[in-house]
A and B are shown apart, each in its own frame.
Chain A
Amino acid sequence: MRAEPPGAQHEWLDAAAGPVVRPYTLTGGRVRPAVDGFDLVAFVLAGAGADPSGQSGLQPEHRRLVELARRPVAVADLAADLDLAVGVVRVLLGDLLTRGLVSVHEPPAAGIPDNDILKAVVSGLRAL
């Protein structure tokens, strides 16, 4: 129990910031995933026979992530689909990864894609 409000207003907390939230309740207060990675455009794929239902300690959100990842799906799309902050989704995905329920496929770390890919992007954009 606090006797007084917590300190000075944080500089982030102004009209442009979102509401003050406690998004990490879902992760039991953990703000870092068990493993690093999970780029916004990394693809997540559930294992062929992944069945989260029998696993204890998983939230409904974990199970939804596995269901959504039956087909390859990007981390950013998962966060939008679940309407959860990316940081929260990363923690949940870390749990699933350590249990072997999903695999994560990071995009190539650096370097410009080869010319065939750039060509395909240009022609795909022209067709829009």
Chain B
Amino acid sequence: MDYVRSDRGSSEPRLPLALKILIAGGFGAGKTTLVSALSEVRPLQTEEVLTGAGVGTDDLSGVETKSTTTVAMDFGRITINEDLQVYLFGTPGQDRFWFLWDELAFGALGAVVLADTRRLADCFPSIDYFEQRGVPFVVGVNCFDGSRRFGIEAVRQALDIDPDVPVVLCDARDRQSAKLVLISLVEHVARQRGEPVPVA
């Protein structure tokens, strides 16, 4: 693998640093909506391929004849400056795609778990996943029109999460609201590493 770093003094193009933030939550919790609200480009889609033979085995002989399907992952991008980009990856919703999460979570800065108070239990698997992997996360309670408003403390209690984990109300359609969720995540990450909360 070629790990050559760019030489900032030469004519080589500068390589930005890209940070990954995962947007998780149950089906219909507003993951794609949040990515759309924040991304500077139309949310892009990439596909990961699932093969019946390829998972957990090195024996790939004849794999091209096996049934294969793909799962779409939405992602968006926020350019912070010319050296720094934030990539938002919406996680695949179905439980059987968990193995894709390991790749997404590798090296991720953290995650936003979107919760829909009408189906709060849908976000439990995401919370379990990030807790087990030690990935910092915040819970964004997506306030849909007509959804019952719960207090933040009621949601925190129902989710049984660590008191340090921020729970914030948001409207995933609204960029200003959505960006506050990301800011609370980055501040949470900074607190976890024991640094003072960055003041912009």
Contacts and interface: CB of A to CB of B under 8 A. Distances in A.
Interface of A: 6, 10-13, 16-25, 29, 31-32, 35-37, 39-41, 43, 45, 48, 71-72, 74, 76-77, 79-80, 84-88, 97, 103-110, 112-113, 115, 117-126, 128
Q: Which DSSP category, helix, strand, loop or mixed, fits chain B's interface?
A: mixed
The 10 closest A-B pairs by CB, nearest first: A124-B80, A123-B200, A29-B64, A80-B44, A41-B18, A119-B198, A18-B70, A79-B46, A85-B47, A87-B49
B1 A40 contact: no
Contacts of B81: 120, 124
Interface of B: 1-6, 12-20, 38, 44-52, 54, 60, 63-64, 67-72, 75, 77-78, 80-81, 84-87, 89, 93-94, 96, 103-104, 106-107, 109, 175-176, 179, 182-183, 186-187, 189-190, 192-193, 195-196, 198-200
Given A45-B13, A85-B70, A25 B64 contact: yes
11 contacts: A10-B67, A17-B69, A18-B47, A19-B69, A76-B87, A79-B46, A85-B47, A108-B17, A121-B86, A122-B198, A128-B179
Contact of A29 (B14, B50, B63, B94): B63
A122 B68 contact: no
Contacts of B186: 118, 121-122, 125
Contacts of A76: 44, 46, 75, 87, 89
Contacts, number: 189
A11 to B, nearest CB: 7
A9 B38 CA distance: 39
A45 B15 contact: yes
A126 B38 CA distance: 12
Given A18-B47, A76-B87, 20 more contacts: A10-B52, A12-B50, A20-B67, A32-B60, A45-B6, A76-B75, A79-B47, A87-B48, A105-B3, A105-B6, A107-B18, A108-B17, A113-B17, A115-B190, A115-B195, A118-B186, A121-B80, A122-B198, A124-B84, A125-B182
Q: Which of B18, B87, B106, B192 counts the most chain A CB atoms within 10 A?
A: B18
B68 A22 contact: yes
Contacts of B187: 122
Given A45-B15, A107-B18, A21 B190 contact: no
A126 B183 contact: yes
Contact of A43 (B1, B16, B45, B104): B16
